Amino acid sequence: MCMREQLTIFLPENRIDELISIGKEKTIESSAYFIREGEIPTKIAFVISGLFRYVYIKDNGEEFTKGILTENNFLSSYSAMILKHPSHFFIEALETSKVLEINWLTYMLLVEKDIFWVKFLLKLVEKGYMIKEKRERDLLLLDAETRYKNFLTEFPGMEQRIKQGIVASYLGIQPETLSRIRKRMLF
């Protein structure tokens, strides 16, 4: 599926042209960062293909994967970007990925002149908000095994694409705990 077709999920034809006209197609190599911790973000991106994660790296080197993003999602370090503060997390490509990169100030020009792009942005922020709320709830209310089962349902085939250590850091558990859960589920 090409980018134009993918964007029809979100946008009518004429709006797709508008978005593409302000964006740049880019390839991001596996393990490279779209946004780094400490950097003031000035861009968002639509993921055409590939895989990303949002990750906090603690002072002791421990990682917490706060989000996993596949194709057809928008990447951003949103709070930091709108506050013009340094990002608290990294956005890392887990596979060589293609994105449509959009400069935030350029997007703001669209927002200023057309209510359509305000409503579109509202939808994106609402989606981000809902994902965060569900994630908070899952981490608080579900046990690790249930979280792992939900992960397998939500991201089918992802087990082959992501290292176990990253899956564990997404589930908020130690890699050893994940191994135990996986063994238990085999029987």
Under rule CB under 8 A, residue 108 binds its own copies: no
Task: Residue 10: name the closest of 123, 100, 102 by CA.
Answer: 123
| Residue ranges in 67-106 that form contacts with its own copies under rule CB under 8 A | 78-79, 82-83, 88
Q: Which of 85, 86, 88 is nearest to 56 (CA)?
A: 88
Query: 22 is written with which tokens?
Result: 């302000």
The answer to whether 113 contacts its own copies (rule: CB under 8 A) is: no
Tokens of 65: 């994967």
Only one of the segments 13-21, 27-35, 94-102, 113-121 lies at the binding site for its own copies (rule: CB under 8 A); that segment is 113-121
Could you tell me which of 20, 6, 99 has the C-alpha nearest to residue 52? 99
- Cβ closest to its own copies, residue 58 vs residue 184: 58
Q: Is 78 helix (H, G, I), strand (E, B) or coil?
A: helix
Contact residues for 142 (Cβ-Cβ < 8 A; gap 6+):
150
Output the smallest distance, CB 21 to its own copies, in A. 22
Q: Between 34 and 117, whose beta carbon lies closer to its own copies?
A: 117
Q: Which residues bind its own copies (CB under 8 A)?
A: 56, 58, 64, 66, 78-79, 82-83, 88, 115, 118-119, 121-122, 125-126, 128-130, 132-137, 140-141
